[in-house]
Amino acid sequence: MNGGDQGTKKNLDMICKVLGKDKVDIYYLHQKAGKSKLIEYIKGALFIPFGYFFGLTPTKVKDIVCTAKKYDYVFIDRSIFGIVARELKRANYIGKIITSFQNVEVHYMDAKISKHTPLRNVLINCADKNDKWSCTYSDKVIVLNERDRYEIQQRYKRIAEITIPVTLEDQLSYKPNLTKLTGNCPKCLSIGAYFTPNNEGILWFVKNVLPHVNVEYKIVGKGMERLKRDYPEELKDIEVISDVPSLTPYFEEAEIMILPIFSGSGMKVKTCESLMYGKNIIATDEALQGYDIVEGISAWRSNTPEEFICCIKDFIQYPKPYFNKEARTCFLENYSNQSIERKFKELLN
């Protein structure tokens, strides 16, 4: 699952834990355009100018409004489906509508969609409208961090009721080596799906940092074979692995996580995963957005080539523990699912 999918799973798991699984039903809205039949893709595209994102149609929304009458809550995962909140309110739904912002979608779409994509402005406008409807018609709004809270307040004049950061169910299944130190040619890893901000950050690191440090560098992520095809010369000597069933083996062998992200919205799930596995992390401001880390202990902040180079060389010259206990503690206390159960209880009171 990509970062957004993991966020969705977290929300569902926590709601089921608080209310009881037998009291929660799921209505699937989103349909990945690439896997749709051609006729469904065309039909979906025709509705986008009216605010219906891919996979959502007026018929589905009417069905949701009708079905919702027997439920106390409607939890809308992702503000891109704000039109659902609008139609529920227009139909005088008496339960509570809760919408989770995984990003400020207008910014996310602006970063995600290529400048050459047909109907790019139509898609971004669709995201903007749905963000606004989510703010206007939801009884409660959830954001990931203070940056998104501020942006929503400035852009849509809505103050989010609750901040729930990115969290994960603890998946550390192996016993970490507490005595091992980083080596003189550390194994560095970047993870992330084929996605514009990920791609740009990785290529920036390869061009500006990698030639100046002695490391073993690997890239792992969903669809990343495309990046290798797009940039065969730049990545010819770098191992790029796509679509693995589990990231655990790659986290386990990595000595340093390299997270060079410069644009986007929300919080980066890859940062949370790195903390969960107790990894040494060298990351940009954007990759650390929303995380309460201790600089130079649970993570190292770097934004320029010189800072990345200096930081990596410091690991080589002054070896550090292979397993970062402070990063692991940071995850357990702040970014594990268990740490935010209380907030979901408050949300669903």
Q: Is 181 within a domain?
A: no
Do 136 and 194 reside in the same domain of the chain?
Answer: no
Please state, in angstroms and rounded to a whole number, the distance separating the CA atoms of residues 151 and 180: 43
Residues 192 and 255 grouped into a single domain? yes
Instruction: Mark whether 130 and 214 lie in a shared domain.
Output: no
Say whether both 159 and 209 belong to one domain. no
**Number of domains the chain is built from:** 2
Q: Do 197 and 280 reside in the same domain of the chain?
A: yes
How far apart are the C-alpha atoms of 142 and 162, rounded to whole Å?
5
pLDDT in tens, 237-260: 999 999 999 999 999 999 999 999
Q: Are residues 160 and 199 in the same domain?
A: no
Beta-bridge partners for 242: 221
Q: Among 174-178, 208-212, 215-219, 307-311, which stretch is predicted with the lowest mean pLDDT?
A: 174-178
Give the pLDDT band (50/70/90) at residue 63.
Answer: very high
- Assign 228 a pLDDT band (cuts: 50, 70, 90): very high
Q: Is 176 among the domain residues?
A: no
Residue 14: domain span? 3-164
CATH number of the structural domain spanning residue 11: 3.40.50
The DSSP result for 112-128, as a single string, is HS-TTSTTHHHHHHHHH
Picking from 164, 198, 229, the residue at the C-terminal end of a domain is 164
In this structure, are 229 and 95 located in the same domain?
no
Do 128 and 262 lie in one domain? The reply is no
- Residue 265 inside a domain? The answer is yes
Here the CATH number for the domain that contains residue 211 is 3.40.50.2000
Sheet containing strand 140-143, edge to edge, reads 73-77, 96-100, 140-143, 162-163
Predicted TM-score (pTM) of this structure: 0.87
CB 43 within 8 A of CB 205: no
Instruction: Determine, yes or no, domain membership for 103.
Output: yes
Dihedral sign computed on CA atoms, order 63, 66, 67, 73: positive
- The DSSP annotation for 181-192 comes to B--SS-EEEEE-
* Domain edge (last residue) among 103, 131, 164: 164
pLDDT digits (tens, 9 = 90+) for 323-349: 999 999 999 999 999 999 999 999 998
* Mean pLDDT value across the chain: 93
